[in-house]
Structure 1
Amino acid sequence: MTRRTAPLWTAFLLAHALTAWLGWVYPSQPMGDVVLVYEPWSASALTGGTVMGITEPWVYPQLALLPMLLAKALSLPFVAAVGALSAYLVAWAVLVTVLDAVAFGFLIGRRPSAPRRAAAWFWTAALLLLGPIALYRIDAITVPLAIVGGLLLLRHPLVGTVLLTIGAWIKIWPGALVLAAVVAARNRLKILCAAAAGTAGIIVVLFLLGADQHLFAFLTQQTGRGLQVEAVAATPYLWAARAGAASVGYSFEILTFQVEGYGVPFVSDVLTPIMLLTVAVITALAAVKAARGGSFGRLFPPLALSLVAALIVTNKVGSPQFQTWLIAPMVLWFVYDRTRARGPAALVAVLCGLTCLIYPLTYDALLRTEFVPVLLLTARNVLLIVLLVVGIRSIVRVPIPTRR
């Protein structure tokens, strides 16, 4: 740590400490997934019981179990003193903080440039604004992997792609950054081969562990889900619920709140095709820019952000931790093209703040469809659409070099 990096490190670590502590005091159990599902899943796997993704189908890719098991191992020395659940919560927060610190150190180094300093301050601010949900979810594990992988794409594309591929086998969204790299980079064949090789290696290991029957269950398990209350497409139904024309119900099968009303099954069914179409259109638009000579630094950041935003906007699930997905593309945008990153970064910061106001701070009132939280959620979801439009517009504006 140097004089130039000391303020960055101090702010970053204090932000993690404060965010971790707020998880213990905020309402609506922002740490609920960690203690109610991650800890039991890891305990079961370590004691000879069900191994999610291996012996049973799972909503997550199989590598998501690794950080859960690691947190369980880290918590064991403290179980006698504070109990299994508290020890696991502390271990999880420490694990995420350590991974974030490694990525943060890689980002800023000893003498960070102005773009990297800006990226570091943005990451710190986004973490604070988003609150405990930024730490106490499996998505938090993928953020540092995505940041380091994205930073390595130009100089060490094989290593960067493998890290992003590992991230995608923990939570699918880092695959969007792999796709963006394949489109925007000149060495796209090398990146594509690295992603394919990494995926093949993971699949072989999973087969050897006995996961053949449930290898891609994380894809099929999502098909039967309803429309989650925080999803963008659920917003009109929340206003309808206030008028008595729809309602909010709890699904004991997938442990989440969903909207119920006329046309909900249809909307839920069409969202996945819409997602695939949106991703395809964005990819095609960027591919044209790349084919005409658009530079990686100008094309990759908005493409990565647009693809990630599309996964959120068109998703039947609307979990608050999805906002963590936006942090990595924005950090990379600052590094590769700081001037044009400021506007989207402001939008992402507001999205993080609004998300924390919704969950966990006013979540109970949202489930009662009270006016203020429904209005907050509406504003957040509208801004998600705006962010998607901004990202696509930035792709369109990528300059094409003049041929002579």
Structure 2
Amino acid sequence: MAEGSVGVANETTRSRGIRRLLAGRHALWVGFVVVHVVLAWLNLVGPGYPFGDVTGVYRVWAETAQHGWLRMGIDAPWVYPILAFAPMTAALAFGAEYYGQTWLVMVTLLDAIAFSVLLGRARLSRRRRAAAWWWVGFLAVLGPIALGRIDAVTVPIAILGLLWAAGRPRVAATLLTIGAWVKVWPAALVAALVVASRRRMEVVTIAAALSVGIVAVSLLAGSGANALGFVAEQAGRGLQVEAPVAVAWLWAIVAGSKTVTIEYDRDILTFQIQGPGADAAAGLTTPVMVVAVAVVLLLGIRAARRGAPLGALLAPLALAFVVVLMLANKVGSPQFVTWLTAPVVLGIVLGGRRFTVPAVLAAAIALLTQVIYPYWYGWLLVADPAFVLVLTGKVALLVALLAWSVRAVWQAGRVRA
């Protein structure tokens, strides 16, 4: 055999060996552990104070409740639904001094449960392997924010709910409803499941009954109207600097406007846009979101009525709902990008290569998010043109992701079954 042929054969053998190694469960778990260890380390000692909400805000809320001074969401209005207090309190299990470490272990364990269900016990399929590697890579490119917010608790719950949507719709409805009472966004996945599932009445009944039960327990604890206070708290927020809508005002600052500024709101601990039209834009985001959600809902109902199977409809419909919540949002915090995880993971499991475009777009959005936060967030706060451009690119990718998902929902119902 010629020397060149031997070299090609050896390289082919090595390539097959690498692919075989990466195809195994051990490699996936090693990747999972490595990424979580690195992200935990970045949260604890990395630059940019990415863990500030957990150690500086959540811990204070949990400690004040532990001492009987103030229970957020019960004794006072709160920005989060009432069940968000459960993981925040659980992180006190080993004392306030280890609050951050306990939080990271808790989130990692939740991710590990969802990861193990994703891999399954049977022979590992190519699609599940691809979805698992995508999730690991997505966490890596998103950075420490992937673990350092309350949203990180809801992501594995949402993944489990969507993975079990077809075979166990009652369990899925329970998990997604619990997730929605920790952070509101999984309610979009409940809506997608109601539309796509043939057992939608079971989903509606469980979600409604569980929600009533949670509110009833809150009322018994003395919450009163504070049980739903998170709705008013969100409605009263201004236009946050990372919000997609805020891009126009950021470019006005870049252009030299003296009437537009970025100010810190000490009540809700965020940087917000101050300037002509900013408050009006913030007020319009909610009705725009309602209209956009209604449009996606009607498209989903059309597809379901035309016989679209759950496997073809649920993932793109869930993705469309989530992206609408991100785009028509006055807050736009970087951790919102974690919401893309569940529908994309499901889409890869069910659709394989057909979900390549949204998988790539979501990963690119995550990467641009980490470029901005936490390491160089200060440059965005002074409206540096380069970082305003990065944020603009992120918004453009979200628009492209919405266009893809809406088109996929339309195609799912294009031909009557």
Which band: TM-score by shorter chain? over 0.9
- The code of the aligned residue for 1:335 comes to V
Say if 2:403 is the partner of 1:389.
Answer: yes
Q: How does 1:93-104 map onto structure 2 within 5 Å? A: 93-104=104-115
Q: Name 1:129's counterpart in structure 2.
A: 141
Q: How does 1:109-120 map onto structure 2 within 5 Å? A: 109-110=120-121, 111-120=123-132
Per-residue CA deviation, residues 186-217 of structure 1 (Å, 9 max, x unaligned), is 11111111111111221121122112220110
Q: Name 1:56's counterpart in structure 2.
A: 76
Q: Name 1:140's counterpart in structure 2.
A: 152
From 47, 52, 71, the equivalent of 2:91 is 71
Per-residue CA deviation, residues 334-376 of structure 1 (Å, 9 max, x unaligned), is 1122232111000000000000000012101111111211111
From 232, 243, 248, the equivalent of 1:236 is 248
Q: 1:402 to 1:58 in 2, by over 3 A?
A: closer
- The code of the aligned residue for 1:104 comes to F
Say if 2:334 is the partner of 1:323.
Answer: no
Q: Name 1:190's counterpart in structure 2.
A: 202
Identity of aligned residues (%): 46
Q: Name 2:101's counterpart in structure 1.
A: 90
Q: Name 1:39's counterpart in structure 2.
A: 59
The number of residues matched between the two structures is 393
- Name which of structure 1's ranges 14-23 and 301-310 shifts more when overlaid on structure 2: 14-23
Q: Name 1:149's counterpart in structure 2.
A: 161
Say if 2:354 is the partner of 1:340.
Answer: yes
Displacement of 1:402 in angstroms is 4.9
Per-residue CA deviation, residues 251-299 of structure 1 (Å, 9 max, x unaligned), is 1111100111111111111110000000000000110110011111111
Say if 2:129 is the partner of 1:105.
Answer: no
- The code of the aligned residue for 2:385 comes to F
Say if 2:289 is the partner of 1:275.
Answer: yes
Say if 2:384 is the partner of 1:364.
Answer: no
Displacement of 1:59 in angstroms is 0.3
Displacement of 1:4 in angstroms is 2.9
Q: 1:341 to 1:315 in 2, by over 3 A?
A: same
Q: 1:291 to 1:31 in 2, by over 3 A?
A: same
Q: Name 2:29's counterpart in structure 1.
A: 9
Per-residue CA deviation, residues 166-197 of structure 1 (Å, 9 max, x unaligned), is 00000000010000010111111111111111
Across the aligned residues of Structure 1 and Structure 2, the Cα RMSD in angstroms comes to 1.4
Q: Is the 8 A contact 1:26 1:360 kept in 2?
A: no
- The code of the aligned residue for 2:196 comes to A
Q: Helix, strand or coil: the match of 2:264?
A: strand
Q: Is the 8 A contact 1:247 1:259 kept in 2?
A: yes
- The code of the aligned residue for 2:179 comes to G
Displacement of 1:63 in angstroms is 0.2
Q: Is the 8 A contact 2:243 2:329 kept in 1?
A: yes
Q: Is the 8 A contact 2:78 2:229 kept in 1?
A: yes
Displacement of 1:67 in angstroms is 0.2
CA distance in 2 between partners of 1:198 and 1:114 (Å) = 36
Displacement of 1:96 in angstroms is 0.3
- Name which of structure 1's ranges 304-313 and 366-375 shifts more when overlaid on structure 2: 366-375
- The code of the aligned residue for 1:272 comes to T
Q: Name 2:38's counterpart in structure 1.
A: 18
Runs of 4+ with deviation above 2 angstroms: 24-28, 399-403
Q: Helix, strand or coil: the match of 1:72?
A: coil
Q: Name 2:15's counterpart in structure 1.
A: none
Q: Name 1:355's counterpart in structure 2.
A: 369
Q: Helix, strand or coil: the match of 1:384?
A: helix
Q: Is the 8 A contact 2:155 2:341 kept in 1?
A: yes
Q: Unaligned 5+ residue runs, structure 2?
A: 1-22
- The code of the aligned residue for 1:149 comes to G
Q: Helix, strand or coil: the match of 2:24?
A: coil
Q: Name 2:319's counterpart in structure 1.
A: 305
Q: Is the 8 A contact 2:239 2:278 kept in 1?
A: yes
- The code of the aligned residue for 1:59 comes to V
CA distance in 2 between partners of 1:265 and 1:402 (Å) = 45
Displacement of 1:393 in angstroms is 1.1
- Name which of structure 1's ranges 105-114 and 346-355 shifts more when overlaid on structure 2: 105-114
Which protein shows a greater Rg? 2
CA distance in 2 between partners of 1:36 and 1:285 (Å) = 42
Q: Name 1:265's counterpart in structure 2.
A: 279
Q: Name 2:412's counterpart in structure 1.
A: 398
Displacement of 1:27 in angstroms is 2.7
Per-residue CA deviation, residues 304-355 of structure 1 (Å, 9 max, x unaligned), is 0000000000000010000000011111111122232111000000000000
Q: How does 1:160-179 map onto structure 2 within 5 Å? A: 160-179=172-191
- The code of the aligned residue for 1:97 comes to T
Q: Name 2:213's counterpart in structure 1.
A: 201
Q: Is the 8 A contact 2:170 2:203 kept in 1?
A: yes
Q: Helix, strand or coil: the match of 2:242?
A: coil
- The code of the aligned residue for 2:118 comes to L
CA distance in 1 between partners of 2:205 and 2:300 (Å) = 20
Say if 2:310 is the partner of 1:296.
Answer: yes
Q: Name 1:159's counterpart in structure 2.
A: 171
Q: Is the 8 A contact 1:293 1:400 kept in 2?
A: no
CA distance in 2 between partners of 1:402 and 1:71 (Å) = 50
CA distance in 2 between partners of 1:334 and 1:177 (Å) = 16
Say if 2:267 is the partner of 1:247.
Answer: no
